[in-house]
């Protein structure tokens, strides 16, 4: 009889093994209090006591034993999951970051990808909308290509995962790693060019069944601020009046010099005015503004008060989640079973996400040498996302620019109450008529035909996914040192998307429309691997060779019908007119041969080499195969004799690696039903011409297209100091990508704009670090600090060829950016804003030449002019112009790439209460704030858009100290005032509190009485505040 505790904390160790030495069949495990009772056979003298993470101890048989197990520091050399296996942290030569699963599970994210924000260095997360369940865009180590997809490869339980990540329950994850350099990712070949996210789900352990249950209830609300726009209808009308006044009395000067009375033009049923039905005051248009002061007449009352659009579109949603897990097993067979349900209501009205998931992971030692494992998972997800598409009905875009004079509902005078009230409409759900801006034969100047608040009630956008994943693994050991492994994985996704457009308003007014899309996606991977390993004294050698085949298929069918019978039923039988139908099946395959060899000497010197040959169906037969590989080395310096006296240094490792990877992904911006799978073919579209097939040219292919290649060098160190209280890791990488999969532009005369080619080269390099520090480690008080950051630089080292000259291009304009050797792929190229003139007109910098007669010729595109060899830059002169058409596009010295990105946080525990926090941040870089530009347009016609409050600083005859351009409704002189320029480049620096959580671990003495091993309660919040350069500018999603 005895009790086993942790030597440092005194806490009982639950489940420790107690075996009678010399009698392997006689033993037990400790209970919830760390206690055990055991009858020892006659002659037994010692008990062997062991537990994972602790040193094994032999103690003499006795009664009332008190055993204190010490942590095994050697086991602190943790095992990390790597490509096709595992490796100790000390022996690993590549770049990999282990994600804290505990930190991920603290966040109430509906999608695993969004929870990665700020967790590890080198990983940037871009959340583009607030729809629950939406996957974030993940970028590992910056921009490594131009037209290629930058998404990482997800690998779940050893098999590349092609399903939807939101179908994976974070609480089912055992460990998670992100592989970043070529040495770490090379074994996954072409799909790993942008990094790999490795996910291993939980497994059972031998012993009695363990039951886990968890539940949570939460709220979902928008706390990130919107743009600071004009919300008062009266103030909006004052600005509108000033805009009209300037138009008529500054830009349209009357011959007699008298001022035009413009008050009556505010509301009128004609172009340039706001329809009279939107006059919400008890006065005529001409009486609303005092012409002497330009201010709203305070004696005028409202007929009604327009609703706050935020209240009509946003809400406080609820979140529910529950999980039950059972694990256990015998000596030969273990199991892990789980089931969970989550429902998250978005803060956008009508949006929600729900997931039901099941998992069964079973592993069995069939014989002494044969082991089998089968992992099955199923998830059903349902997503409602009305009004969040890229269409004009997007509520986020609508909300930022709707003038405050416009109501959510249509208003009319109630003859009984003599009050203006929302109009009743019995045929519409809710019985109230939404204002879609189409009444009385005149369209609302702002987004006529659109009302996202009504759309959420009347339209439907529903997606249902069935995800099924199976991974079968067979492992056979023979001849002591050999192991053969066969792994088969298959993912199935069945998706049904239904869209209903209501018959009352909008595009489908009068008819209604249903669109149904069915998608079936399958991804199969079959891997056969033969490995060998042996120890020769201090020499350790292991190697493997493998073959893998992958096949991916995607079948899609779409049917559209109109003329609804009922306004809210999603079935196709609810519509009677067949508008269109289409279907297609697309797929690709890959076959691979690869291998790896590893060597270490005395646990101090480590070498690693791998090679992989991939064949992809995406390239023509002559260019299908590519060979790639990597080498790596590490030196565990802390084990050298000359550092043995450095007691403050626990671990110090240097590592370096070099590798070359291939990439087959390219985005040619084809239509959604024509992915970039068949890039070596010329593509034609097929249509009906008089009931005969008609073929028209669609896109140019390139049979010579081949693999994009990236060579990465990585060097770094890992250190643990001061009795492992401080952990510091730092790495530098240099990645050069050549033969980039490129959209090669062509001359217009050839009949197509571009074709796929291998061209150009870029370099991406950076410095990353992460550290953690155990600031306090007392029995009742603990404080852990952590931080990570990455610094990245990008440079074009070789330009694509100019098809007209056969030489590298001087530059290539790409929207707001331009490519040029020596610049990054996200260096801004646009006119430079130069403020306003003394009369309030906007102006820009420009270059020009001047001939002998003094005639000036504006240079509209500086690099285009410089690429002409006969032009001499010394002949250029610089000035300021009020004509945007003469303003010079040029490199402005600003980039969208941030200087530093990362995260930090802390965990503080005091007497069982833990406060945890996680922040993400970005420093430097610029984003183009197009939404703000729209809100700052001085020429927007009154009623056609709202204004940002900054517009109040506009120059006017009565505000000559104003710093912004003069207002002028529809004034042609101002039509390009908000055209692309440096005026709207905004710092991307930000600080986001991505998670905070307070939890309390109930005392074990309390929970053991109800049969529980442990229990805790917590309160958690995600994305509670954001600090950015401007309210409403969410820089981490721009």
Summarize pLDDT for 946-1002 with one digit per residue, the tens: 999 999 999 998 899 999 999 999 999 999 999 999 999 999 999 998 888 888 888
Strands 2-6 and 65-69: parallel
Rounded Cα–Cα distance for residues 113 and 134 (Å): 9
Q: pLDDT band for position 1005 (50/70/90)?
A: confident
Asked whether residue 598 carries a pLDDT value surpassing 90, the answer given is yes
Q: Look at residues 85, 232, 98, 112 and name the one whose alpha carbon lies nearest to residue 172.
A: 112
Summarize pLDDT for 771-798 with one digit per residue, the tens: 999 999 888 899 999 999 999 999 999 9
E strand residue ranges, 885-941: 890-895, 900-910, 913-923, 926-928
Rounded Cα–Cα distance for residues 868 and 701 (Å): 31
Summarize pLDDT for 134-186 with one digit per residue, the tens: 777 788 888 877 777 778 888 999 888 877 777 888 888 888 888 888 878 88
pLDDT at 19: 85
H-assigned helices in 408-526: 452-458
Q: pLDDT band for position 107 (50/70/90)?
A: low
Summarize pLDDT for 602-639 with one digit per residue, the tens: 889 999 999 999 999 989 999 999 999 999 999 999 98
Q: What is the mean pLDDT of the chain?
A: 87
Q: Look at residues 845, 162, 14 and name the one whose alpha carbon lies nearest to residue 524.
A: 162
CB 342 within 8 A of CB 217: no
Summarize pLDDT for 826-859 with one digit per residue, the tens: 999 999 999 999 999 999 999 999 888 989 999 9
Please tell me the least confidently modeled range out of 449-463, 572-586, 952-966.
Answer: 449-463
**Three-class SS state of 506:** helix
What pTM does this model have?
0.86
Q: Regarding predicted confidence, which is higher, 42 or 342?
A: 342
Report the half-sphere exposure of 984 (CA within 13 A, side-chain side): 18
pLDDT at 405: 96
Rounded Cα–Cα distance for residues 185 and 583 (Å): 36
- 321: which residues sit within 8 A by CB, 6+ positions away? 108, 214, 215, 216, 218, 340, 341, 342, 343
- Mean pLDDT across 30-47: 81
pLDDT at 75: 45
Q: Regarding predicted confidence, which is higher, 196 or 496?
A: 496
3-state secondary structure labels for all residues of 616-669 = ECCCCHHHCEEEEEEEEEEEEHHHCHHHCCCCCEEEEEEEEEEEEEEECCCCCC
Domains with residue ranges and CATH for the chain: 2-74 (2.60.40.1120), 233-307+393-452+937-977 (no CATH), 900-927+988-1037 (no CATH)
Render 143-173 in DSSP notation, one character per residue: ---SSS--PPEEEETTEE--S-GGGS-GGGE
pLDDT at 392: 61
Asked whether residue 258 carries a pLDDT value surpassing 60, the answer given is no
Q: pLDDT band for position 57 (50/70/90)?
A: confident
Strand-pairing partners, residue 785, are 773, 906
Q: pLDDT band for position 76 (50/70/90)?
A: very low
Block residue for tokens 């062509």: 746
| DSSP symbol at 247 | I
pLDDT at 387: 67
Q: What angle do CA 22, 27, 30 make, to 5 degrees?
A: 140
pLDDT at 25: 67
Q: pLDDT band for position 824 (50/70/90)?
A: very high
Query: H/E element holding 387?
Result: none
Q: Look at residues 296, 277, 616, 596 and name the one whose alpha carbon lies nearest to residue 440.
A: 277
pLDDT at 8: 64
Summarize pLDDT for 741-763 with one digit per residue, the tens: 888 878 777 778 888 888 899 99
- Mean pLDDT across 62-84: 73
pLDDT at 878: 94
Block residue for tokens 């710093």: 963
pLDDT at 489: 94
Give buried/exposed letters for 963-982 (b at 16+ CB in 10 A, else e): ebbbbbbbbebbebbbbbbb
Q: Regarding predicted confidence, which is higher, 1030 or 109?
A: 1030
Q: Regarding predicted confidence, which is higher, 459 or 574?
A: 574
Dihedral of alpha carbons 805, 807, 811, 813, sign: positive
Q: Look at residues 383, 337, 360, 545 and name the one whose alpha carbon lies nearest to residue 471.
A: 360
State percent of the chain over pLDDT 70.
94
Asked whether residue 73 carries a pLDDT value surpassing 60, the answer given is no
Maximum Cα–Cα distance for the chain, whole Å? 123
Q: How far is CA 475 from the centre of its chain?
A: 36
pLDDT at 10: 67
- Mean pLDDT across 505-511: 83
CB 148 within 8 A of CB 139: no
């Amino acid at each position: 009889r005895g009790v086993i505790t942790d030597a440092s904390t005194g806490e009982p160790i639950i489940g420790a093994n107690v075996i009678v030495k010399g009698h392997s069949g006689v033993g037990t495990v400790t209970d919830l209090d760390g206690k055990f009772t055991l009858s020892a056979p006659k002659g037994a003298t010692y008990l062997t006591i062991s537990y994972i993470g602790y040193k094994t101890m032999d103690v003499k048989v006795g009664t009332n034993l008190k055993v204190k197990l010490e942590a095994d520091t050697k086991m602190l050399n943790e095992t990390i999951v790597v490509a096709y296996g595992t490796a100790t942290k000390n022996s690993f030569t590549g770049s990999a970051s282990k994600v804290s699963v505990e930190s991920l599970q603290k966040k109430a994210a509906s999608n695993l990808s969004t929870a990665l924000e700020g967790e590890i260095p080198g990983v940037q997360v871009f959340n583009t909308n607030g729809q629950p369940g939406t996957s974030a865009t993940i970028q590992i180590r910056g921009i490594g290509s131009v037209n290629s997809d930058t998404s990482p490869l997800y690998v779940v339980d050893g098999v590349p995962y092609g399903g939807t990540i939101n179908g994976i329950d974070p609480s089912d994850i055992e460990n998670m790693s992100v592989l970043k350099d070529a040495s770490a990712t090379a074994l996954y070949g072409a799909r790993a060019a942008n990094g790999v996210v490795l996910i291993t789900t939980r497994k059972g352990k031998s012993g009695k069944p363990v039951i886990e249950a968890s539940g949570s209830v939460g709220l979902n609300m928008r706390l990130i601020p919107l743009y600071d726009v004009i919300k008062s209808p009266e103030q909006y009308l004052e600005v509108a009046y000033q805009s009209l006044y300037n138009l008529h009395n500054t830009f349209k000067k009357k011959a007699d010099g008298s001022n035009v009375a413009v008050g009556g033009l505010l509301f009128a049923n004609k172009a340039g005015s706001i329809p009279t039905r939107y006059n919400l005051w008890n006065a005529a248009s001409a009486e609303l503004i005092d012409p002497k002061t330009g201010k709203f007449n305070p004696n005028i009352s409202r007929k009604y008060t327009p609703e706050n659009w935020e209240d009509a579109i946003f809400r406080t949603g609820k979140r529910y989640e529950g999980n039950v897990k059972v694990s256990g097993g015998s000596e030969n067979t273990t199991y892990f079973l789980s089931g969970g349900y989550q429902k998250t209501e978005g803060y956008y009205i009508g949006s929600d996400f729900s997931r039901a998931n099941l998992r069964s992971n079973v592993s069995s030692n069939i014989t002494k040498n044969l082991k089998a494992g089968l992992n099955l998972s199923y998830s059903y997800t349902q997503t409602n996302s009305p009004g969040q598409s890229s269409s004009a009905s997007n509520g986020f875009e609508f909300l930022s620019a709707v003038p405050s004079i416009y109501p959510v509902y249509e208003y009319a005078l109630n003859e009984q109450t003599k009050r203006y009230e929302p109009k009743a409409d019995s045929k519409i759900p809710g019985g109230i008529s939404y204002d879609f801006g189409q009444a009385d034969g005149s369209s609302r100047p702002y987004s006529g035909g659109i009302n996202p608040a009504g759309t959420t009630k009347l339209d439907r956008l529903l997606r249902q996914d069935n995800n099924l994943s199976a991974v079968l693994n067979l492992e056979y050991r023979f001849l002591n040192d050999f192991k053969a492994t066969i792994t088969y994985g298959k993912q199935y996704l069945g998706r049904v998307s239904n869209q209903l457009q209501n018959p009352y308003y909008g595009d489908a007014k009068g008819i209604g429309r249903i669109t149904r899309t069915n998608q079936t996606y399958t991804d199969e991977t079959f891997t056969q691997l033969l490995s060998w390993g042996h120890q020769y004294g201090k020499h350790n050698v292991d190697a493997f060779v493998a073959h893998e085949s992958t096949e991916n298929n995607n079948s899609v069918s779409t049917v559209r019908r109109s003329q609804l019978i009922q306004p809210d039923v999603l079935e196709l039988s609810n519509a009677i007119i067949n508008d269109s139908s289409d279907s297609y099946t697309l797929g690709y395959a890959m076959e691979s041969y690869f291998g790896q060899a590893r060597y270490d000497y005395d646990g101090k010197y480590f070498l690693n080499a791998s090679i992989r040959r991939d064949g992809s169906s995406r390239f023509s037969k002559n260019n299908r195969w590519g060979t790639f590989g990597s080498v790596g080395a590490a030196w565990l310096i802390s084990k050298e004799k000359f550092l043995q006296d450095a007691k403050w240094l626990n671990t110090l490792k240097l590592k370096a690696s070099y590798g070359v990877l291939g990439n087959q992904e390219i985005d040619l911006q084809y239509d959604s039903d024509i992915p970039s799978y068949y890039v070596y073919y010329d593509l034609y579209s097929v249509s009906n011409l008089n009931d005969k097939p008609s073929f028209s040219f669609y896109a140019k292919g390139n049979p010579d297209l081949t693999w994009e290649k990236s060579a990465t060098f990585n060097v770094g160190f890992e250190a643990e100091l001061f009795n492992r209280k401080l952990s510091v890791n730092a790495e530098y990488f240099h990645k050069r990508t050549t033969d980039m999969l490129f959209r090669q532009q062509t001359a217009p005369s050839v009949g197509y704009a571009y074709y796929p080619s291998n061209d150009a080269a870029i370099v991406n390099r950076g410095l990353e670090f992460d550290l953690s520090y155990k600031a306090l480690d007392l029995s009742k008080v603990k404080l852990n600090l952590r931080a990570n950051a990455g610094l990245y630089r990008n440079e074009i080292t070789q330009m694509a060829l100019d098809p007209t000259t056969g030489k590298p291009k001087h530059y290539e304009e790409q929207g707001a950016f331009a490519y040029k050797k020596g610049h990054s792929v996200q260096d801004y190229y646009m006119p430079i804003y130069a403020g306003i003139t003394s009369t309030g007109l906007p102006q820009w910098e420009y270059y020009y030449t001047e001939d002998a007669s003094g005639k000036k010729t504006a240079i509209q595109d500086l690099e285009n002019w410089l690429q002409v060899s006969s032009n001499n830059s010394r002949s250029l002169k610089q000035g300021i112009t009020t004509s945007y058409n003469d303003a010079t596009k040029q490199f402005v010295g600003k980039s969208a790439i941030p200087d530093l990105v990362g995260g930090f946080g802390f965990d503080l525990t005091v007497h069982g209460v833990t406060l945890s926090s996680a922040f993400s941040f970005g420093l430097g870089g610029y984003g183009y704030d197009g939404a703000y530009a729209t809100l700052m347009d001085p020429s927007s016609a009154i009623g056609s858009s709202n204004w940002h409050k900054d517009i109040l600083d506009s120059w006017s005859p009565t505000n000559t100290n104003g710093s912004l351009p003069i207002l002028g409704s529809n004034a042609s002189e101002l039509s390009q005032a908000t055209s692309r320029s440096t005026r709207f480049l905004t710092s991307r620096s930000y600080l986001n509190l991505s998670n905070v959580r307070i939890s309390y671990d109930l005392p074990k003495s309390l929970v053991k009485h109800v049969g529980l091993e442990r229990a805790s309660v917590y309160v958690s919040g995600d994305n509670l505040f954001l600090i950015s350069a401007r309210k409403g500018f969410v820089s981490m999603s721009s």
